[in-house]
Chains A and B, each alone.
Chain A
């Protein structure tokens, strides 16, 4: 493979953009390594770097418990979303039935209503179901589909040629078989992207954890703990940055794991 000027240019543009993207992180890491006295010192390399902030935040708050609660809930939610949203998306993309578009639009409208308005009715429903005070309201909704995932997967499924499904059907394959043996395996890049988002939504969901769980550091999630941590140490940036970095680490790991599925072989320009 020859290096073309266009590739060099692409690389240069990406590099410049990446620098802007990553600068705040470098700065966060730098601040997290500074002792308190240096927090407003604008130097990038701390004069006296120390890892102490990281051990201190675990002493100040049970971050390991919070991390575990959040990872557990996010993993269950992600599984539920991947399964139920692609099921519905498959129907929306491939099956003809009356009221399909209307149903889809109704689903989309939920994304557009700001969450503050619906929080109280939703709370009353979960309370009536006897789930207040448990972790169920944090992951149970993920097993009931959802507008974002259904929309995303439907858009992707639409790009899969219909002829594949029709041919399989002539061979006697059932809908469910077509879904599991043709659509899902072909959709790895989209499923990986969706998994990242599903995990991210659950990870960042402050409101549900706040409302449905007791504000108890043994039971609640990382976002609630972090919000609490931030009120107490608002002026101590090195501690705040350490906590913020610890709290995004699992998310970055999920991204790295999922993104391997983005590549379906040789990229377009590699073809000669």
Chain B
């Protein structure tokens, strides 16, 4: 009889106990190491929420988006997934993401201490459908060994673009004397606006795009002056490697040790350190209209179709909170979105001894990277047109006219 009773109890409780455990999936792009960091965050979360298990899955950037599209359109979305701010409107406007506003209204202090600029990209008129996970501001990287060898003074916080140009010229060398350049003064990824040309245009007083109005703005005189500066450095001074010169060393000229300066975000720090470079960072130089840089933040979103929105929210809240952000800061590739963590040793005293504070200071003069529906189509259209300048096939005015035309067409198509 006792046996019977306990069996009955177990039968009665069995389904209940199982239902009390919630499994959620968190998918992100990145390296296996990043996956491990988030698995650690998930473990810390589980300790505080023993009823929620988070399974972390990581894939490389291309694979991640491909898989995500199939899973979401096939009706099997992950509960929580990583989002890149420029792509966020495409997903948000199509109803794929859960509105987090009710949770934020219920918990008004959730966003206290988060840098406001990092939140901007995720704000919509209906509230937040995602929250930033980290932020990236672009700064100037320089290779100390190359500066020392050439006897050039390190970049200062007061540099203008002309100072950078002069230093880049002095650092462009043919070291083995075979008539071919083997060290360039400067390298930048110039196809996407984020690492370089966006900041240059802003600091020359130009602007990039007004998506709601359907206008690509890089055709202005101020913007053209900025593009002309880049063109002159690249094609006249030849102090930047061309695409074909760069290709044989990989994709990042600073990383492969062929250029003395580069522009990038904090994500490059682990790679540069692993490559054994002796480097530090400086703010981006000033232009005629002052100093500017771009800020972009990757974020968390929750699928609109998750069966466990509450559990998913608990995890997102935890990961964007102090503990999650501290783990992220220790990883060394991103800047935390919380002021308290950005001021803590976890961020400032990382293994790689560079001026980490500078990435946080950049928020004072930074602007958010444009974020709108149809971003990728627009960016490809503009990038392809600009490529004709860098390849030396078109002059700045013609290429910009083409970029504005194709960019506006892409904006019109996205607005349909």
Contacts and interface: CB of A to CB of B under 8 A. Distances in A.
Interface string A142-181: 0000000000000000000000000000000000000000
A36 B31 CA distance: 20
Contact of A120 (B59, B70, B250, B271): B70
Interface centre among A40, A123, A215, A232 (most CB of B within 10 A): A215
Interface residues of B, number: 32
Interface stretch (A85-93, A193-201, A223-231, A263-271): A223-231
Contacts of A136: none
B70 A215 contact: no
Interface string B9-44: 000000000000000000100111100000000000
Nearest to A40: B249
Contacts of A108: none
B177 interface: no
A27 interface: no
Given A40-B256, A216-B57, A211 B32 contact: no
B59 A235 contact: no
Contacts of A211: 66-67, 70-71
Contact of A228 (B58, B69, B251): B58
Instruction: Give the one of B30, B31, B63, B251 with max A CB within 10 A.
Output: B63
B192 interface: no
Nearest to A231: B60
Contacts of A232: 31-33
Contact of A123 (B57, B70, B252, B255): B70
Contacts of A231: 30-31, 60-61
A16 B33 CA distance: 44
Contacts of A210: 59, 63, 66-67
Nearest to B29: A231
B55 interface: yes
Contact of B32 (A37, A40, A228): A228
Interface of B: 27, 30-33, 55, 57-63, 66-67, 69-71, 73-76, 249-252, 255-256, 271, 274-276
Interface of A: 36-37, 40, 60-61, 119-120, 123-124, 127, 132, 206-207, 210-211, 214-217, 224, 227-232, 234-237
- Top 9 nearest A-B pairs (CB, nearest first) are A232-B31, A231-B60, A215-B57, A123-B74, A215-B59, A227-B60, A123-B70, A211-B70, A235-B250
